[in-house]
């Protein structure tokens, strides 16, 4: 056995043990979010501490450090996949190794507890019970930034952005949000001034739970999701979680008075799931076996939710099915009325229920706040007040309580600073990707016929199969054949909403 082969074998072993920790942590997290009773954190803490310690011991060891350095050194001799594994793992290793073990473990426990506290705080509209945890998390994040960038080569917030969207900077985001704001705000104003809104009353009639489940099953079929490898659960806050490409989970929330809520959750999470299910076989059980970044992932989920799922063609296609599943509810609804109803743009309180047009403003608000928090310009205690002020300023709405305000999202309690912007970026990535896709695929026909195979196939070839073989920015440039710009997204929103609202 050559020394290189021996190193590759060691790498495989490392990847396998990392998979175990990924699987088990995901398992505990999935359960906490979908099934665990509310006061069950005690046992989970014992387990989280164990997993965190073992993972740190297995990964942040001198042995692993030497292995990764050795591999990176002989990069030229390695197969492309192996070289990339070493590169990505070395990046993670350097980040983990920079944090002292005790602090790393304590942080994992803190975040696990904080998520439980957040869930209860949201339920009881009790920001005060959550803020001490959030303060500790922010302090940890600030220390991590020092560990990760001791020479201050980057701006502090950029150090966090790198974890979710490698290569992304606040400067890029400032420019992006400026452009988006210039398109969206005038559109929102014009709609408000016009005063007309589509009739949406029929969407909120009673829709039985078991029929909504049938609808989910149907939509998953339309999305071409392989049910043998992708299941659906119910949860408060829908999400997708992947164990590996043969075991992907989506979740949704059924409201018997709001059938489209779960409909679009399934379309959105289904998009995430498609990505994971179609990553390359050869990447399975390795650190490359997942989507390239949060932003690219979100571009896929929002593409299926909005660009496909809220297109005129797809709405026309789905209406007869809605009629079949919910007799009476859609009886006298025209295709046009259905399309307009699911595309209503109206400023609202909850990000996850926001329409396609105002959604970015919800993200902009969070982006500005978390950036200011990390730059120490504001404090955790200021968040509810600033939240409510910005909601008034950007969306013109009054926030009645923290449950519907600053407590609505789990991200900050999960330590995910730098994640929110990728949601907005995803919308814009998707619009540009769709323009490129249309050169190869008749997307309108696919929507109108509910035949999404050609779309999924294009995405598999151009995006999905690469997993993490490329960083998000080079990957995007490769499949779009151009650098990212906000223009296709702005164009898409302007055309769509001008037409619907007759502006």
- The per-residue DSSP string of 291-357 comes to -S-HHHHHHHHHIIIIIITTSHHHHHHHHHHHHHHSTTTTTT--HHHHHHHHT-----S-GGG--TT
Nearest to its own copies of 277, 473 (CB atom):
277
Spatial strand order of the sheet with 247-252 comes to 230-234, 247-252, 240-244
For the CA atoms of 461, 464, 470, 473, what is the dihedral angle to 10 degrees?
A: 100
Task: Give the residues across from 250 on adjacent strands.
Answer: 232, 240
Cβ nearer to its own copies, comparing 179 with 247 = 247
Active site residues: 269
Apex 39 CA angle, 33 and 44, nearest 5: 65
Closer by beta carbon to its own copies, 113 or else 158: 113
User: Smallest distance, Å, CB 259 to its own copies?
Assistant: 13
Which residues 6+ apart lie within 8 Å of 191 measured at CB? 345, 346, 357, 497, 501, 503
Token duo for residue 494: 């302007």
Closest to its own copies by CB, 4 vs 25, is 25
Give the number of C-alpha atoms closer than 13 A to the C-alpha of residue 428, restricted to the C-beta side.
21
H or E, element range at 73: helix 62-73
Rounded to a whole number of angstroms, the minimum distance from the CB of residue 393 to its own copies is: 39
- Going by their DSSP bridges, the two strands 230-234 and 247-252 should be labelled as parallel
Whose Cβ is closer to its own copies: residue 40's or residue 498's?
Answer: 40
Q: Smallest distance from the beta carbon of 126 to its own copies, in angstroms?
A: 16
**Closer residue to its own copies, CB minimum distance, 28 or 72:** 28
Which residues of this protein are in contact with its own copies, per CB under 8 A? 16-17, 19-20, 23-24, 27-28, 30-31, 34-40, 42-44, 46-47, 50, 208-210, 213, 227-231, 233, 243-244, 246-249, 256, 285
Label residue 281 exposed, middle or buried (CB < 10 Å: 0-12, 13-18, 19+).
Answer: exposed
CA distance 417 to 404: 20
Token pair of 441, please? 């695929």
């Amino acid at each position: 056995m050559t020394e290189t082969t021996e190193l590759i074998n060691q790498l495989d072993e490392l990847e396998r043990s990392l998979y175990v920790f990924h699987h088990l942590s995901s398992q505990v997290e999935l359960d906490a979010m979908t099934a665990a009773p509310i006061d069950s954190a005690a046992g989970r803490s014992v387990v989280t501490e164990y997993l965190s310690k073992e993972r740190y011991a297995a990964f942040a060891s001198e042995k692993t450090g030497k292995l990764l350095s050795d591999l990176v050194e002989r990069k030229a001799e390695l197969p492309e996949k192996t070289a990339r594994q070493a590169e990505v793992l070395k990046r993670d290793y350097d980040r983990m190794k920079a944090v002292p073990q005790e602090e790393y473990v304590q942080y994992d426990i803190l975040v696990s507890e904080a998520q439980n506290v957040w869930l209860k705080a949201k339920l009881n509209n009790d920001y005060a019970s959550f803020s001490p945890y959030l303060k500790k998390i922010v302090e940890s994040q600030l220390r991590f930034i020092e560990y990760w960038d001791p020479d201050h080569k980057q701006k502090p917030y950029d150090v966090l952005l790198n974890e979710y969207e490698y290569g992304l900077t606040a400067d890029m985001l400032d420019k992006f949000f400026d452009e988006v704001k210039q398109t969206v705000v005038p559109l929102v104003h014009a709609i408000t001034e016009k005063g007309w809104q589509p009739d949406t009353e029929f969407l909120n009639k009673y829709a039985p739970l078991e029929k909504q489940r049938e609808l989910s099953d149907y939509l998953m079929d339309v999305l071409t999701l392989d049910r043998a490898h992708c299941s659906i659960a119910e949860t408060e806050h829908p999400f997708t979680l992947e164990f590996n490409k043969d075991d992907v989970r989506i979740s949704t929330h059924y409201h018997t008075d709001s059938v489209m809520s779960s409909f679009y959750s399934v379309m959105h999470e289904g998009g995430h799931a498609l990505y994971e299910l179609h990553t390359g076989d050869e990447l399975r059980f390795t650190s490359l076996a997942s989507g390239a970044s949060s932003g690219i992932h979100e571009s896929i989920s929002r593409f299926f939710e909005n660009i496909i799922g809220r297109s005129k063609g797809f709405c026309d296609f789905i209406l007869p099915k809605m009629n079949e599943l919910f007799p009476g509810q859609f009886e006298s609804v025209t295709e046009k009325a259905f399309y307009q109803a699911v595309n209503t743009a109206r400023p609202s309180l909850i990000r996850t229920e926001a329409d396609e047009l105002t959604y970015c403003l919800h993200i902009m608000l969070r982006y500005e706040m978390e950036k200011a928090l990390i730059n120490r310009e504001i404090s955790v205690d200021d968040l509810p007040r600033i939240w409510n002020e910005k909601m008034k300023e950007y969306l013109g709405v009054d926030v009645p309580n923290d449950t519907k305000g600053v407590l609505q999202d789990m991200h900050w309690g999960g330590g995910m600073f730098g994640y929110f912007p990728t949601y907005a970026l995803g919308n814009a990535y998707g619009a540009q990707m769709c323009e490129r896709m249309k050169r190869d695929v008749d997307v309108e026909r696919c929507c109108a016929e509910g035949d999404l195979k050609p779309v999924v196939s294009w995405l598999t070839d151009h995006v999905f199969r690469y997993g993490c073989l490329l960083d998000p920015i080079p990957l995007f440039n490769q499949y779009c054949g151009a650098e990212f710009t906000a223009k296709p997204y702005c164009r898409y929103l302007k055309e769509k909403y001008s037409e619907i609202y007759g502006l």
